[in-house]
């Protein structure tokens, strides 16, 4: 049986260090599912593992794309599953780590099966969005699929502000003539592995303090220069990211540098809260305090594997 040890938790909690410890113990590779660490131009602001960390275990899907490439969660699902098939030929235990809940779910559960949508629908929706903004998409979804709109408003309100996701919801509704929600949960995606999910957590004040410290470290490492070099491309989807957006406003003269830094810290803390909300809905997670001895976590993983192997026998 194949096992995918999956490490989840909010930003700055210590997932990278744990993933490396587990990879070294089990002699396996690491699949990264951090949706911003894919991009080679965004190193400091996405907290890409250091050169020493990258050298201490084999990593995949880190800085393997460019911000100028179109890369979706569906693309990642296909590529990561193909890579896992390859890795499982060598070792039946592999590691996945990341704080992007949607990307974690893509690998563990897969997506529902949606119909092909005519390009003319997509073009029209893009034109309307360019003219009327995100409010147009929100109004359309609320009108066509009020059930899904309410679900997002309650469980994942930031998605209502995400143009790419909202365009997709609306184009499926209009192109198929059916609510987006009617396609959810209809398809069973089979996986050739059993997930073992490890969650890291900390008291909120500790987590916030770690986030603030990480932002200060990023600035010391050159985040300002990295963001300034990327500013001419700030319209790209990959750069609609905490840590960059706030500095773009500073470069545009809209804020002071001190204010931009405080905004980065505040928005990163908000992002961490959303991560926790998402991951706490995940089933079958073994949660550990971020300071838990790694040997204890390794023992827990081994016990889980042994129990599953015994059940098979």
Asked whether residue 243 is marked as a ligand-binding residue, the answer is no
Asked whether residue 133 is marked as a ligand-binding residue, the answer is no
Residue 6 β-bridge partners: 96, 197
Residue 197 β-bridge partners: 6, 285
Cα(286)–Cα(22) distance, rounded to whole angstroms?
15
Asked whether residue 12 is marked as a ligand-binding residue, the answer is yes
Range 49-56 contact pairs with CB under 8 angstroms and sequence separation of 24 or more: 49/16, 49/20, 53/16, 53/17, 53/20, 56/20, 56/24
Q: How many residues does the chain have?
A: 313
Cα(270)–Cα(266) distance, rounded to whole angstroms?
6
Asked whether residue 159 is marked as a ligand-binding residue, the answer is no
Asked whether residue 163 is marked as a ligand-binding residue, the answer is no
Pairing mode, if any, of strands 93-97 and 194-201? unpaired
Asked whether residue 11 is marked as a ligand-binding residue, the answer is yes
Cα(122)–Cα(128) distance, rounded to whole angstroms?
10
Cα(18)–Cα(39) distance, rounded to whole angstroms?
22
Residues at the binding site are: 9-16
Detail the residues annotated as belonging to a binding site for substrate.
Answer: 11-16
Q: Binding site for ATP: which residues?
A: 9-16
């Amino acid at each position: 049986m194949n096992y995918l040890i999956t490490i989840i938790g909010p930003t700055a909690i210590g997932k990278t260090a744990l993933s490396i410890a587990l990879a070294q113990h089990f002699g396996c590779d690491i699949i990264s599912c951090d949706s911003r660490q894919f991009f080679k131009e965004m190193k400091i602001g996405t907290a890409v593992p250091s050169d020493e960390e990258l050298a201490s275990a084999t990593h995949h899907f880190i800085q393997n794309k460019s911000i100028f490439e179109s890369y979706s969660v569906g693309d990642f699902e296909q590529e990561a599953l193909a890579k896992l098939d390859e890795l499982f030929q060598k070792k039946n235990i592999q590691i996945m780590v990341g704080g992007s809940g949607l990307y974690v779910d893509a690998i563990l559960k897969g997506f529902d099966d949606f119909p092909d949508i005519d390009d003319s629908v997509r073009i029209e929706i893009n034109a309307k969005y360019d003219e009327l903004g995100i409010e147009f998409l929100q109004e359309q979804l609320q009108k066509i699929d009020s059930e899904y709109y309410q679900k997002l408003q309650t469980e994942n309100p930031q998605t209502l502000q995400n143009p790419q996701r909202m365009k997709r919801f609306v184009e499926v509704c209009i192109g198929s003539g059916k609510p987006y929600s009617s396609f959810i949960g209809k398809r069973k995606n089979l996986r050739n592995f059993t997930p073992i999910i490890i969650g890291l957590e900390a008291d909120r004040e500790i987590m916030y303090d770690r986030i603030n410290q990480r932002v200060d470290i990023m600035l010391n490492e050159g985040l300002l220069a990295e963001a300034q070099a990327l500013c001419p491309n700030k319209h790209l989807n990959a750069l609609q990211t905490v840590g960059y957006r706030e500095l773009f406003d500073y470069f545009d003269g809209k804020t002071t540098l001190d204010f931009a830094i405080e905004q980065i810290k505040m928005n990163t803390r908000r992002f961490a809260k959303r991560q926790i909300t998402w991951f706490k809905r995940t089933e079958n997670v073994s949660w550990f305090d971020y300071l838990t001895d790694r040997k204890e976590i390794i023992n827990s993983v081994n016990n889980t594997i042994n129990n599953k192997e015994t059940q098979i026998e």
